Amino acid sequence: MKTTLLFILFALLAIPFTIHAQSPALVAKFGVDGELANDTMRLGPGNPVGSHDWLKQKNGIGIGLVDTVGTSIYNPLILSGGNISFTRGQSVSRYAIVDNMYMLDTRYGRDGIGTGGGITDSTVFKNSNKNGGNPMNWGFELNGGGVQNKNDIVDVYAHMRRNGTTINSTNPSPLYLMAGASTLGTEGDRYIDFELYKSRISFNRSTGFSNSGSSTTGGHSVWTFNADGTVKSTGDMLVSFSYGSSNVTDVAVFIWVSKTNKDNVNPLYFDFIPSEYFGEGSNPDYGYCRITQNNGLPNFEFFATTNTFTSTGPFWGTNSKDIGVSGSNYAAPNYGAGQFSEVAINLTSLGIDPALGNAGNTTDPCAPPFTRIMVKTRSSSSYTSELKDFTGPYPFLDAPQVPQQIAPAKLTCTINTTTLSPLNPQTGAFYVWSTAGGNILSNPVSESVTVSGEGKYYLTASIVSGCMGLTDSIILTRDTYQPVATAATEGWVNLLYPGVLANLIGGNDSASNYWTPYGFSSGLTWEWSGPVGYTATTKNATTNLEGTFMLVVTELRNGCKDTAYTPVYSSQTLPVHLVRFQGNMNKNNKVTLNWTVADNETVKSFEVERSFNGKDFTTAGVVLASEKSGTENYMFYETVSGNDKVMYRLKMIDKGHDIDYSRILIFQTKTLITNDIKVYGNPVKDKLTFSYYTNATQQVNVKVYDLTGKILMSQKVNSAEGSNMLSLPLNSTFKPGVYVVEVFNGSNSQVAKFVKQ
C-alpha cells in the first residue's frame, strides 16, 4: 500500500451516501443509541455493561468521555433560564488507554440560544455566508441574534478512539470518529456541518474569525497531492449530515482543494465529484469539493441514530422547544424525541487510517492534520445555502507533543551511577532510552533509567507506543574537578610540656573556588589526621603531638578530594641541615630519591620511610652516612606497584641521636602528564617542595624569583624522565611574601607561584 499521511481523517474520506434506517449499535464499546449515559443501550443490540458514552452515570462502571468536573455550577443557571455557553474536554488524558483502547480526544460544546424577546445567541451568522467563503470575511451578529429553532445549536459532541492499542501498518486497531448534536427545535430536517481546521482558527466578538488559513488559498488550509495520488499535505475538511425526527438521512465529506488539483489529480483513496465544488465567487481557484468512495473499495462501517424517545440530557441541563419550560428559555433536563442525533464511523475500514502503510515512513501516524473543530447549521440541504448558527471553534485532535528534554545529571568522584529522567514527565507517555558510549543499567523502555559511565544518552518521547516521538540527548560527564589542599605548621610542640601547641594551618578556599563546567565551589570540608589517632574537622587545628599530619579537603559539589601533609617538630629536635631532597618516578614505577646535606660529619644515618596513605610510614631502607665532612650527596631507589600513590620522607639521625624529618615527596603511580608545577604545603615555611614533569632524562635549571623579577635562588638539578619531586630549604633571604618558582629545560619553562610565611 502506498504512503498515507494522515492521522485521523484522511478523512472521513468518505463518500456521499444515504442512510434511510436507524443503525444504532455498541461501537468499540461506545453506545451509539440516541442517549448520553454509559452502561446503557436504549436502542440497538449489545451488552451495555461497562460501555462508554458521553456522560457517566453514578452507578455505571464504564467511562463518561466528557470532563464534568466543576460543571455543577451550570445546572441552576440553565434550568432557571440562563443563556450560557461553555466547553469541556476529555475526562481522561488525551491518548490515555482505557479498557485497552486509546482515547484520543473528546470535545463537548454548549452554544447559547436565541429565543426572541431579548434572548440572543452570541454566535450567529449574518448576511449570506457560505461554507465556501473565507472565514475571515464571514459576517456575524455583533450583538447576538436568533435563528429558526431547527437551526439553533444547543449541544455538540465529538470523540476519536482506537478500538485497541496497536498502531502499525499491517493490522492497526480500528480508528473511530463519534459525533453528536442537538438543536433547539425538531420541526423539519436539520443540516449540520462539522468543520475541521488544520490551522488554530479562533473567534473573537470584536474582531471575528482569524488564523483560519492562508488568504492566498481562500482563507483555508489546502490539501495537496503527490504524483501517485497520495496526500502530500492535509488541509481543512467539512463533514456534513442531515437528520430528522426519526433517522439520519445524508452524510457527505468535502475537502478544501485547488481547482487545478480537483480537475487534474486522481487521488489514491477517493474520487472528486467535480460538479460539487464551491468556494468564493462563481469560478473559485480554491474551494470545498465533495469526495466519494473509489470504485471497488469495500463498504465501510457506519452507525447512526436519532433519539426516537425522550432521552436524558446532560446533568447540567439543556434546552428543548418541544418539552422545555417556555418561561425559562425552554430549559429542560431531557432531549425531546428527534432532537439529538449521533454517528460513528470506522475510519480504518475506509482505508484512511494513518497507520496503514506507514512502516518506514517519516510521517507520524499520531500527528493529526486538524487542530480545531467548529459546528455550523445551514438553512437547507444545499451545500451552498446560507449558514445560520455556529459554535466554536473548539480545540480538537490538536495532539499533545510530549516534552523530551532530559533533566540535568552528572557523575562525580563519589557518584558512579545516576538516574536520567525527563525534565517534565507526562503521565501515560511512551519513553525509550538509548546510548552511545554509555551504559544503561535498567529497562530502557521506561520513564527513567539508571545509567553508569560517561557517554551520550538519548531520550525519545512520544504520546503512545507506535507514534513518532521527539528526541533529546545529553552528554553525561563526570565532575572530577578537585579542590586545592594546602597544609602548613606554625610553631613547635614540647614533649615535656603538653600544653605547648603547634598550629595546623589548612586551606585553600580561594584556590578551590575556580570555574568549572559544573559551577564554582559549593564549599569545602577539612579532615585532619595524624599520630596516635589524631583527628580534627576544622580548617585550622592545633596539636601537641610530633609527627606528620595529613589534611584531606573535600569539595561539597562533587565529593572530590585533595590531600596535603605537614610535619610538626618538637623543640628538642635539632634538625639536620638538609640542603636538597628530590625524587623521580619513571614509567616503570621505579622511584629514585636524591638528597644533599651540609655538615655531613654530624650525621649518623638516614631511614627512608614509605607510606601509601600519608599516615602510616614504614622503613623502606636505611642509608648510613659517609665519613666525609661538609656537603655530601646520597641516593636511594626501589620499584613499587599496586597503589595509585606512594609517599616518601627521610628520617635523619645525627650522632647525638637527635632525629629530624624531611618534607614528604608524593608520587602518582598512574602518572598524569602535565606542564604545571604543583607546590605542596603552600603557603610554605622553611622548605619549598614541588613536583614537575620532564619527558626525558636531562638537567634542568631551577630558579626562584621575587615579584620584581630578582633571582633569589638558582640551581642545576638532574631530572629523570617522568614525574620529579624536589624539596629545597629557604634561607633568611626569603621574607614573607609571594614568589615564583621556574623549572627550565633549555626550551620550555614550567612556573608556579607560592607564598612564603
The rounded average pLDDT for each run of 10 residues, N- to C-terminus, in the chain (757 residues) is: 32 35 84 93 89 92 94 93 93 88 93 86 90 93 89 95 85 89 94 92 90 94 85 82 85 89 86 91 92 64 88 95 91 95 81 57 61 94 92 86 84 94 85 94 95 93 76 91 90 81 89 90 95 95 93 95 89 67 85 89 90 85 89 91 83 81 79 67 84 86 84 88 85 86 84 84
Going by C-alpha positions, the residue among 503, 495, 534 that lies closest to residue 659 is 495
Delimit the CATH 2.60.40.770 region(s) of the chain. 584-666
pTM metric for this prediction: 0.58
The pLDDT value given to residue 345 = 82
Report the alpha-carbon distance of residue 20 to residue 457 in Å, rounded.
Answer: 59
Q: What is the pLDDT of residue 23?
A: 85
Residue 36: helix, strand or coil by DSSP?
coil
Return the CATH class of domain 672-757: mainly beta
Prior bond to 393 cis, omega within 30? yes
Selection from 547, 578, 602 nearest residue 662 by Cα: 578
User: What's the pLDDT score for residue 2?
Assistant: 30
What length is written for the chain?
757
Q: Cα 565 to chain center, whole Å? A: 46
| Nearest CA among 400, 465, 462 for reference residue 165 | 465
CATH of domain 411-479: 2.60.40
Where does the chain hold its CATH 2.60.40.1930 domain(s)?
672-757
Q: What was the pLDDT predicted at 22?
A: 63
pLDDT at position 95: 80
Q: Domain spanning 584-666: which CATH class is it, in words?
A: mainly beta
Q: Which residues, at least 6 apart from 630, have a Cβ–Cβ distance to it below 8 Å?
A: 598, 599, 600, 601
